[in-house]
A and B are shown apart, each in its own frame.
Chain A
Amino acid sequence: MLRRPTGSLAAPVSIALALAGFALTWLLWAGGGGTVETAWAPSLDLNLSFQLDGLAALYALLATGIGAAVFTYASAYIPPRLAEQGRSRTEEIRFFGLLVLFMGSMVGLATAQDLILLFVFWDLTAVASYFLISHDRDSAEARISAIMALLVTGVTAMLLLIGSLVLYAEYGTFSIPLLAEQVQSGSTLTLAGALIALAGLAKCAQVPFQFWLPRAMVAPTPVSAYLHSAAMVAAGVLLIGRAYPLLERSQLVLDMMLVIGGVSILVGSLLALGRDHLKLLLAYSTISQYGYVVFLYGLGGPIAASAAAFYVIAHAIAKSALFMTAGAVTRATGGKLLSEVGGLARQMPALAIASGLCVASIVALPVTLGFFADELFFKAAVERGTVVAVFAVFAAGLTFAYLGRFWLGIFTGPLQRPAEALATRLWAPIAALAAVAVLGGILSGPFSGLASDAGAASVLGPAEVSVAYHLDLRAENLMAVSAWAIGATLIACAGLLAPALNRFAALGDRFGTERIYFAMLVLLNGASDRIHDFEVRDLRTRIAAVLVPAGLLLAAGVIATPTEGAYVVGEIRQRDIGLILVLVLTAVAALAATFPRRHLTMVLVLATVGYAMAATYAFFGAPDVALVAVLVETTFALLFIGVFSLLPAGVLRRESLLPIIRRRQRRDLLVGLISGGLAFAVAWGILSRPTPDRGVAAEYIERAPDAHAADVVTVILADFRALDTLGEITVVAIAFAGVATLLRRGRIW
């Protein structure tokens, strides 16, 4: 069977990049890490500072390692999917390019040590995920989900930026290690820490920001697998781990994380338990699983930090494999719901075993990596007290229940739909990840070492954790066994629980935070539409929309400016008479411009205003400006006439004979008075103020000879403020392109 399409190089290249990145990170990490520190914009205190510490190594290894597995899976998943949808194969290049961008920004985020740099990579992951989630851009659902993910994580990213700026204002640095040395507990730190933590919580889809993540599962399965495990969502806890030296100074922030993590565990688990849709179930489970991590960080202390890091490893490996399992099952049977599939164990034994091991790892059965993750979780919980410990057991029981339901539902029971044979690359990555999960359950050394180093980077001190099997009746073991028992009971009475769970889900749909999101979206859209409608109704409202806000802003400026020495009426000297006469002419011409009904007359009167202004400049001793004013006025008058000649005959005459609406005339008068009156106030205020001893003008004149110039205006345009000029002439070029586009579909000749 020739199913393999003659392929592009995109998939192999991205897999190779991921593997190379993994190997490189591994080697560098084994060699003791490394630091890169380069100035970026020194005048703004921005540095490109990267460091491969424990936390960075952990997330970089996850991003590249799981990346390699997911990309391999995608290389068999995406091309047939594109073919089914009748899309071009070149989209494969775009897809894999975005995945590599996603991976690269995760690695950058993991290694960045500067808050602003962190922010940049943070937004890069959001941008990459936006395009990946909206991969099926013909589907409205995909677009809504993508924009939701972008808005929720992008708007909260602003909190990260604000938090960073608060810290910078207080301590004068964006560098996280330097900040960690300097920060003092207090309200500033609590504020900044809470803002940064909120950004992280939104990214890892914790309550109340959780709603974007289940929506994001409309993305193609490889994207979900990557997004839920090693990228995007993991970025949230990465930020918390990275900023932990700052966050842990504030008990309030820790408590907030503890509560939010706990609530997220419950909400995610309860919603996952009732779901029928395979990927949706996994999406809710991700919310709950990251709730564990946030909960651990909220507990505080070195063991909790290392346990959180360990949990991230165990979860990422297993969760990416489970998403790929869901995709493989859907590919093989066509079923997307738990109720549509079943009894597949005999048909797909390899997939059943591999995904079974991954489920075992998350629900913490022995001989898997996850067992140790839960052991550490229980250990940290016990230290905090009985209530937390009981909650931890209950949470683990819920996890056991919904993932058990997931696996049992797919692979056991009566056969629902027969399965087609799967391409090797659709199950081999799952098997590889399952092998890693089991290997971690036997040889836990490298994993706990990595987690200890990551914890050490978070608490800036030793955070050694060691894990092993203990065949005794210690608390952790008893808690694990109780959790399994609770889970098994829950699975057994799934039928009894279903109505209550559905009611809970319906409650969430009715009163959940997603409703607030949509309500805000509708509100903002409505406000924007109303303003836009008003603005574009006719030319008058459009001009008013510029003049009135500008006038009001000026008014605010006038009110805020001290008036000392300003607003005085000076004396009139003999030599000013010429200037005054020209100004009177300007005023008369401006008033006259409001009367004519014929458009041609209007243009000529307006040109008179312009020429009179030019004469004013000349009297003020600004011949350069006067020359430009005359030239521009001439050009505009002629262009106006040229445009009029383009209009069909009679239109202008008809327009000029339209009756004038009284009400509109009054409104126009008001707009004119507001803008003109405030412009007058500002001009008067500025011009009557005594000139400072050394203004910028004096400096320009003084420096002109240095620039080899005798004409100050030219040297300002071409040298001192050349960047402004470049911007302005670019506008001229764009205006030209605009005219060519409007009149002749873009031909300039």
Chain B
Amino acid sequence: MSTIVTRTVSRLLLAPVMLIALAVLIKGYADVGDGFSAGVIAALGILLQYLAFGREEAERMLPIRIVPALAFVGLLLALVVATIPIIGGDPIFTHFPAPGADVVKVGTLELITAVAFDCAVFLLVLGAVTGIIHNLALAGDESERSGDQR
């Protein structure tokens, strides 16, 4: 089904899609979008490659193998951000720096714990959606193969 045009276009779109996802994530605290949107955009970029190239080639071409594991990295990071304030006697999800305090900025990106939490959401959504895509694709391949045997 995939033609040379779809393959080329998909290939060309991958880098911009990832860039947009990254931008949405970084600008999350300043502009439209957040970790969730960024995660879905990045996962859709990967889905595009699956559609254009098929599972095997897409997974050979890109380091997708590690992506589903990111879901659990993200969950862990979220829990860490949530629970670390307890050590200092604060309620969970007390973000640092406190209101009014100075914030270190790298361009638009603000180095605050809330942004770390947003990144955790990004990782989790990206990992989970990619993992689901991979599993569906793999199951599809397997059912096709067993269909061939019959």
Contacts and interface: CB of A to CB of B under 8 A. Distances in A.
B37 A711 contact: no
Interface in B56-82: 65, 68-69, 71-72, 74-75, 78-79, 82
A642 B137 CA distance: 8
A89 to B, nearest CB: 36
Given A718-B34, A733-B124, A708 B136 contact: no
B28 A711 contact: yes
Given A627-B33, A706-B100, A710-B31, A722 B93 contact: yes
A355 B87 CA distance: 56
Interface size class of B (residues with CB under 8 A): 35 or more
A707 interface: yes
B19 interface: no
Given A714-B29, A717-B121, A749-B65, A642 B93 contact: no
B32 A744 contact: no
Interface stretch (A502-510, A534-542, A734-742): A734-742
Given A624-B32, A719-B95, A722-B93, A635 B68 contact: no
Interface stretch (A63-71, A276-284, A371-379, A723-731): A723-731
B114 interface: yes
B79 to A, nearest CB: 8
A732 B82 CA distance: 17
Interface string A617-632: 0000001100110011
A645 to B, nearest CB: 5
Nearest to A723: B93
A639 interface: yes
B139 A646 contact: yes
A contacts with B: majority SS: helix
B47 interface: yes
B103 interface: yes
B74 A729 contact: yes
A205 B115 CA distance: 57
A638 interface: yes
A740 B131 contact: yes
B52 interface: no
A732 B125 contact: yes
Contacts of B72: 733
Interface residues of A, number: 44
A624 B32 CA distance: 5
A722 B91 CA distance: 12
A736 to B, nearest CB: 4
Interface in B119-143: 120-121, 124-125, 127-129, 131-140, 143
Contacts of B41: 631
A623 B32 contact: yes
A20 interface: no
Given A642-B136, A729-B121, A749-B65, A717 B36 contact: yes
B139 A743 contact: yes
Contact of A719 (B30, B114, B143): B114
A733 B74 CA distance: 9
B44 A743 contact: no
With most chain B CB atoms within 10 A of its CB, the pick from A623, A713, A732 is A732
Given A631-B41, A635-B44, A718-B114, A707 B82 contact: no
Contact of A748 (B117, B131, B147): B131
B143 to A, nearest CB: 6
A581 interface: no
Contact of B32 (A632, A711, A735, A743): A711
Contact of A646 (B129, B133, B140): B140
Contacts of B134: 749
Given A711-B30, A748-B69, A743 B135 contact: yes
Contacts of A623: 32
* Residue of A648, A718, A735, A743 ringed by the most chain B CB atoms within 10 A: A718
B12 to A, nearest CB: 19
28 contacts: A624-B37, A627-B32, A648-B147, A708-B103, A708-B110, A709-B29, A711-B30, A711-B31, A711-B32, A711-B33, A711-B34, A714-B33, A714-B34, A717-B36, A717-B121, A718-B28, A718-B118, A722-B114, A725-B117, A729-B124, A733-B71, A733-B75, A736-B127, A736-B132, A739-B136, A740-B131, A748-B69, A748-B131
